[in-house]
Amino acid sequence: MTDFLIKSTLGLVVLLGVYHLLLEKEKMHHFKRFYLLFALVFSMVIPFITIEVVQEIVQPTVTPGNIQILPTTAVVVEETNYIAIALWGLYGLVTLVLGFRFLRNVMQISKKMKSNTAIAYHNAQLVLVPEKTLPHTFLNTIFINETEYNNREVEAELYTHELTHVTQKHTLDILFIEVLKTIFWFNPIFIFYKKAIQLNHEFLADEKVVHSYNNVPFYQSLLLSKANANPTFYLASNLNYLITKKRLLMMTKTTSKRKAIAKQALLLPAITALLFSLCTKVVAQQTDTKQNPQPNKSEGLFKTYYDKTTFKVKDEKGKIAAEKKYNDLTPAEKNAIPSIISKEEKLPTNEELLAKINKGAPETIEIDVFSAEKKIVKKGENDIYNTAEISEKPDFPGGMIEFYKFVGQNYKTPDQPNLKGRVYITFIIEKDGSVNEVKNIRDIGYGTGEEAVRVMNICPKWTPGKVKGEPVRVLYSLPLTIQSAKP
C-alpha cells in the first residue's frame, strides 16, 4: 500500500507540474482535458506496472530482501499491530463520512430536478428554480432562476455557455475526480486536479461562446457582472467558477498549431522518463556457469565419465535418499562428489582420464553433503558430543521460537524472487553457552549460507548441553527454511 501511494502521488505531482508548465496557458483546451484525465488514470495504474531490466552478474550480491526465515517445525506468533488497526479504522470512518456527503449532494440535485418545472431545451433540459442563482449544469440539466427565465433576463451567451457543459459532458469529469477525492481524501493533490479540470471546462465553454457570438468585450463584461453571485453545488459546472484574469486573458489568446504540436511532443519524453523511473526493476541474473567439481581442459572427458555413473545421494542421517544422473545433481551435490583420482585429489591429465574411461566408469558414486555434521572430534577434556549423546540438550534463552525470531530479525537476505529452500549449518555450543565454529553445510545460493553463518556468529549465549549434569561442548546441526514472502 505504501509503495502504491508513493508512486501514484509522485506521478500525480509530476504530471500536474508538467501541465502547469507547458499546457495551462495554451489554447488547446480539448487536448488539455484529455491530458488531465489521462494523468489521473495513469498515476493510479503506474504502481502496478513493472519493467524488468535483467542484469547479469558473475557472483550473486547479498542485499536485504523480503525473505521469511522459519524453523522446520515451529509456530510463528504474529503480534497485533494496534496502530495500524487504529489508522485503518480512522481512514474507513472519514471515507464513510465523505462518501455519505457525496451521495447526499447527488440526491439533493436529483430532488431539485424532480421538484421543479422542467423544460426541454435542445439536447438538454432547463429546470426552473425559485431561488436566485446563476445558471449551472449537472449532467444534461441546466438550472436557471424561474423569474429571470420568464422575464427573458438570461442572456443568450449564458445559455450557450451552460449548453457546452452539457454537450461535452463535463459533469462526468467532476464526478470522477470527486470519487477519487473521497477515496484518497488524505492526499491534497486531487484538490489541485479538480481546480485545473474545472478551469479548463470554463475555457472550453468560453471558447464556444466567443466563437458563436464574436463579441469578446461584451462577454467579458457579462462575466464580471455575475462575479458576486451565490455559489452553487460543488458537483455542478458553475458559470462563476474562477472568474479570474486567467479566463479573461484566454479569450483573446491564440496558440499556433506548430507551438501546440511542439508542446504536445515534449510530453512524451516526460511521461516516458516518469514511467521508467517509477516502474523499472533491475533483476540480477547469475551467469550460467557449469559447476564442475574438477574443471580443466578435460571437461568433455569428465562429462563422458560422469554420464556413465549413477550417483547415490545421502540424506542427513547418512541413508541413500535418491539416485540421480550427473545432470540432475544440484550444485551442492556436484561439489560433494568424491575425487575420482587419488587421495592427493589432483586433476588428471587427458591420458589418465581417458584410461579410466576405457577401463569403465564406476557403477555408482555416493554423495554425502552432510559429512561435516558427522565429524565428532577427539575425545578428552574438550570432547564434542552430538545431541543424541547428551542427557540435556542446549537451549536458546526463551526457547527455539525466540531463537528463530532472533534469526529472522538479523538475517539480511538476497532480493531474489521465488527463493525457496533450506540452509543447513552446524555450530558448536561451548561449555559457557557461546557459539563457535559455525559452518555452512548446504545452502540455496545467493549468499544465503554465508549470511546464516554471520548471524550465528553474533548469536547470544545458549544454555549449554550437559552430560551427567556437567556442561559439555555440543555439535548442533540446524536447518533454516527460507521462503520468499513475495513472489
Joined together, the cell numbers standing for residue 281 give: 526493476
Q: Pick from 397, 396, 393, 403: which is nearest to 471 by CA?
A: 393
Cα separation, 328 vs 307, whole angstroms: 11
Confidence bin at 72 (pLDDT 50/70/90): very low
The residues, any chain, with a CB within 8 Å of residue 225's CB and separated by 6 or more, are: none
Residues 76-127 have pLDDT tens digits of 344 567 788 888 899 999 999 999 999 998 898 889 888 888 888 888 999 9
Query: Dihedrals φ, ψ of 289, to 5°?
Result: -110, 135
Provide the phi-psi class of 446: left if phi over 0, else alpha when psi is between -120 and 50, else beta: left
- According to DSSP, residue 140 is labeled T
Query: Which pLDDT value is given to residue 80?
Result: 64
The residues, any chain, with a CB within 8 Å of residue 245's CB and separated by 6 or more, are: none
Classify residue 330 as exposed, middle or buried by CB count within 10 Å of its CB (0-12, 13-18, 19+): middle
- Give the chain's largest Cα–Cα span: 116
With beta carbons less than 8 A apart as the criterion, state whether 487 and 50 touch: no
- Beta-bridged to residue 52, according to DSSP, are 281
Cα separation, 425 vs 443, whole angstroms: 9
Between helix 216-225 and helix 156-167 the angle, nearest 10°, is 90
Query: Dihedrals φ, ψ of 280, to 5°?
Result: -75, 135
Q: Pick from 80, 71, 74: which is nearest to 483 by CA?
A: 71
Query: Dihedrals φ, ψ of 344, to 5°?
Result: -70, -20
The residues, any chain, with a CB within 8 Å of residue 446's CB and separated by 6 or more, are: 60, 62, 286, 414, 416, 419
Stretch (H or E) spanning 278: helix 257-279
Instruction: Indicate if the pLDDT at residue 311 is higher than 90.
Output: no
Cα separation, 68 vs 486, whole angstroms: 10
Residues 19-53 have pLDDT tens digits of 999 898 888 999 999 999 999 999 999 888 887 76
Residue 29's SS3 state is helix
Instruction: Indicate if the pLDDT at residue 337 is higher than 60.
Output: yes
Query: Which pLDDT value is given to residue 424?
Result: 83
Most confident option among 54-63, 193-202, 285-294: 193-202
